């Protein structure tokens, strides 16, 4: 009888936007610098159990796999109620990773979902990987980390229980503010809120604005990749306006005029 089981995990899966074309544009020295940045993510991932020791137990198996620009981190819940704790951790992790990578003009796209995995030594299989890959490739579209509605509902239904059990009131509030609903009814990780909560300072938001504008100006106007970065401009400007950081806002009217975009411009097609 097999000793390894197919088990349910909460999964964070993401990859780097425009990875292939970007790597081909770099010389060897630049490639090394880029790869070192991505390798630094493994240190963040390896530190999960230490960073969240109040929330994780020995029963919470943590998996992490990296291949090229594909990153998968999964946490096995102890129970259905534990889904919220695992989601909380992966929300924070996804936001932390996005906030760190954006400093290097690196944007990611991915998802946090619940799915089945088979993990044995260096082998990882399961429907959870397939679903995450399909979502990342075809359903998410923009540089955002989608959060499964099932996980959000699970959290909302037991938020009081989680608060009473763990006493992590700040973390519970943090989780509620670390995702937002987009215009297409998709929930995604709000990494700018993470940066605000962790007091990254105004310079981070100015640099974020400039990173988006640099990326937009490297694209063919109205192309698919252009639309992805234009979505980032919308997200950034909406967030900064909501929090009164008007010096950081991107002038969307000016951007639309520069690239000859009118109100019929469709980001999804």
pLDDT tens digits, residue range 107-148?
999 999 999 999 887 888 989 888 888 887 777 789 999 998
pLDDT at 1 over 70: no
Structural domains of the chain ordered from first start: 6-197 (3.30.70.1230), 202-258 (no CATH)
What digits encode the pLDDT tens for the residues 214-237? 999 998 888 889 999 999 999 999
Instruction: Give the lowest-confidence range in 46-60, 69-83, 199-213, 235-249.
Output: 46-60
* pLDDT over 70 (residue 100): yes
Q: Is the pTM value of this prediction over 0.85?
A: yes
Could you read off the pLDDT of 35-54 as tens digits, one per residue?
999 888 877 777 787 888 77
| Amino acid 247: pLDDT | 93
Is pLDDT above 90 for 182? no
| Residue 90: Cβ-neighbour burial (10 angstroms; 0-12, 13-18, 19+) | buried
């Amino acid at each position: 009888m097999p000793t390894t089981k197919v088990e349910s995990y909460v999964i964070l899966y993401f990859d780097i936007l425009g990875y292939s074309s970007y790597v081909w544009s770099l010389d060897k020295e630049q490639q090394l610098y880029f790869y070192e940045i991505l390798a630094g993510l493994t240190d963040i991932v390896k530190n999960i159990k230490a960073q969240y020791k109040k929330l994780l137990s020995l029963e919470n198996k943590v998996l992490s796999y990296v291949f090229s620009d594909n990153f998968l981190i999964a946490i096995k819940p102890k129970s259905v109620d534990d889904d919220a704790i695992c989601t909380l951790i992966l929300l924070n992790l996804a936001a932390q990773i996005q906030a760190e990578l954006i400093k290097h003009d690196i944007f990611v796209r991915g998802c946090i979902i619940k799915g089945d995995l088979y993990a044995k030594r260096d082998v990882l299989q399961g429907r959870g990987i397939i679903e995450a890959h399909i979502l990342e490739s075809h359903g998410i579209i923009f540089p955002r980390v989608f959060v499964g509605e099932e996980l959000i509902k699970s959290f909302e239904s037991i938020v009081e229980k989680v608060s009473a059990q763990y006493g992590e009131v700040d973390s519970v509030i943090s989780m509620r503010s670390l995702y937002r609903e987009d215009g297409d009814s998709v929930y995604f990780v709000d990494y700018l809120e993470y940066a605000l909560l962790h007091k990254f300072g105004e310079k981070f938001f100015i640099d974020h604005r400039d990173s988006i504008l640099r990326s937009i100006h490297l694209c063919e106007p109205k192309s698919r990749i252009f639309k992805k970065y234009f979505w980032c401009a919308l997200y950034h400007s909406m967030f900064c306006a909501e929090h009164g950081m008007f010096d950081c806002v991107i002038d969307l009217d000016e951007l639309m005029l520069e690239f000859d975009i009118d109100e019929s411009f469709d980001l999804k097609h």
